[in-house]
Amino acid sequence: MTEPANGNGPTHGDGRVRRIVIENCAVATVDAHGTEHTDGHVVVAGDLIESVGEGRAPAGLENVVRRVDGSGHLVTPGLVNTHHHFYQWLTRGLAQDASLFDWLVALYPVWARIDEDMVRAAARGSLGMMVRGGVTTAMDHHYVFPRGCGDLLGAEIDAARELGVRFNPTRGSMDLGESDGGLPPDFAVESTDDALAATEEAVDRHHDPSFGSMLRIGVAPCSPFSVTTELLRRAAELARRKGVRLHTHGSETVEEEKFCHERFGMGPTDYLDSVGWLGDDVWMAHCVHMSDSDIAAFARTGTGVAHCPSSNARLAAGIARVPDMLAADVPVGLGVDGTASNESGELHTELRNALLVNRLGPRKEKALTARESLRLGTYGGARVLGREREIGSLEPGKLADLVLWRVDGIGHSSIADPVAALVMGAPAPVTLSLVNGRTVVEDGRLANADEDLIAREARNEAGRLARAAGSEG
């Protein structure tokens, strides 16, 4: 790979590996031992981490193209987002006091009017906000595909490529409309065969399973109350035939629990298990209402969880049993969720909210520590996405996805513990963020995109969507 326009490519034009040296900073590696350095260094060679340790970087390094004085900073692995709906960037602030089902009923008719230009603007806004806040690997669950709407998944992929973020989108789907007992309106769903065909085409066209891949596709029917049993079963078969991961919503609300018992005679976990939806290639969003047996089933099968504390609070869904899941060794990561139910759209605020919300549960002050919360947002997310051998911790040989957080400013300087400053304090500014050793954020600003243009286009497309929904209402 040659040097990109931002001057931070992994090699020189003659093939020599370029090095970036970050020194004089606190380092939280989030490795298996929780190794930390109070005054350490990280050396990036090309797209990989070459060394991490206490004190200054090794002497005599060749082809050092940049040295960063990290004084007053903490370096961590890049944050990994495990659940999102980018398109919702255009419908923030609506249905402000609704529970999940009422919120969906209010917004489905609006979302059913989206098109490719709207989704591109929404994806750039969603990604821009996350990347600026320390996310280096993003995931999206897109499941609304109106007829004639254009290439919505392609629009998201283009936006991720532009911003330089590692991307794990999923091709979602809904085929259970209101007339058949589902929640979405009939005009917002696809046929089962069309959804499966489009999903397979997306995998064939875009999925890259290689080490260090910037783009991996997953299979993601929306939820038990918006898809048929046939779609769930055939989607699982498709994903395993193609060797890709599976994602859906699960056990988010008591209403979902009631729906599953009334329609299928069992709770969400047992129902999803009955159609092949538990396994170490599966992760589910929310998992708020989980019994002991549900948690045991997730632990036994290695099924992962995307914990979305802000969205769960916004929609009054409840408090997920994250400490119990972690105690059982269930893979758990953090998710922003769609910005129509988490208007901030930032994952680094979820580090704090995960800690605080879980301390409202039965384990109280012992529920989560600051370091456990940081692990959820880094290594935990990598594990949920099946990428823990590549990202999620700062270790030699792993991909150079890392964030340098400033923790000596007014919001953090009096907190002696830099990890506590990051997790428990105000949102920390990002001085530098790298993906594959390439700069994606510099001094708190996106390195590869115009933030003002992103904001302006998102505002224009949000207005166009509101007018389209109003004219069809």
pLDDT at 353: 98
Q: Which of 10-24, 179-193, 275-289, 357-371 has the lowest mean pLDDT?
A: 10-24
Q: With contact defined as beta carbons under 8 Å apart, do 433 and 439 qualify?
A: yes
Q: With contact defined as beta carbons under 8 Å apart, do 406 and 428 qualify?
A: yes
Q: With contact defined as beta carbons under 8 Å apart, do 72 and 38 qualify?
A: no
Average pLDDT over residues 126-130: 98
Contact residues for 327 (Cβ-Cβ < 8 A; gap 6+): none
Average pLDDT over residues 60-84: 98
- The four Cα atoms 67, 70, 74, 80 give a dihedral, to 10 degrees, of -30
Average pLDDT over residues 219-245: 97
374 pLDDT above the threshold of 60? yes
Following DSSP, what letter does each residue of 88-135 receive, concatenated?
Answer: GGGGTT-STT--HHHHHHHHHHHHTT--HHHHHHHHHHHHHHHHHTTE
pLDDT at 5: 34
Amino acid at residue number 348? H
pLDDT at 470: 85
Long-range contacts of 160-163 (CB under 8 A, 24+ apart): 160/123, 160/127, 160/214, 160/215, 161/214, 162/124, 162/448, 162/449, 163/124, 163/127, 163/128, 163/131, 163/440, 163/446, 163/448, 163/449
pLDDT at 10: 64
pLDDT at 13: 59
pLDDT at 472: 55
- The number of beta carbons lying within 10 Å of the beta carbon of residue 98 is 17
Closest CA to 369 of 354, 353, 350, 355: 355
Q: How far apart are CA 267 and CA 6, in angstroms?
A: 51
Q: How many alpha carbons lie under 13 Å from residue 228 in its C-beta half-sphere?
A: 16
At 155, phi and psi to the nearest 5? Answer: -65, -40
Q: How many alpha carbons lie under 13 Å from residue 36 in its C-beta half-sphere?
A: 13
Burial class (CB in 10 A: 0-12, 13-18, 19+), 296: middle
**Could you say which DSSP state residue 18 is in?**
P
Element (H, E) at 310: helix 309-314
299 pLDDT above the threshold of 60? yes
Q: How far apart are CA 247 and CA 241, in angstroms?
A: 15
User: What are the tens digits of pLDDT across the range 150-186?
Assistant: 999 999 999 999 999 999 999 999 999 989 988 888 8
Closest CA to 180 of 190, 171, 170, 172: 190
Q: With contact defined as beta carbons under 8 Å apart, do 177 and 185 qualify?
A: yes
Amino acid at residue number 208? D
Q: Which of 4-8, 53-57, 187-191, 458-462 has the lowest mean pLDDT?
A: 4-8
Is residue 227 helix, strand or coil? coil
Closest CA to 70 of 42, 50, 47, 48: 42
Following DSSP, what letter does each residue of 19-53 receive, concatenated?
Answer: EEEEEEEEEE---TT--EEEEEEEEEETTEEEEEE
Contact residues for 253 (Cβ-Cβ < 8 A; gap 6+): 99, 100, 101, 288, 289, 315, 317, 318
Closest CA to 36 of 53, 58, 57, 55: 53
Percentage, residues of the chain above pLDDT 90: 92
Q: How far apart are CA 94 and CA 412, in angstroms?
A: 33
Amino acid at residue number 429? P
Report H helices in 180-286.
192-206, 229-242, 254-264, 268-274
Q: What is the rounded average pLDDT for all residues in the chain? A: 95
Predicted confidence band at 2 (pLDDT cuts at 50, 70, 90)? Answer: very low
Average pLDDT over residues 231-255: 97
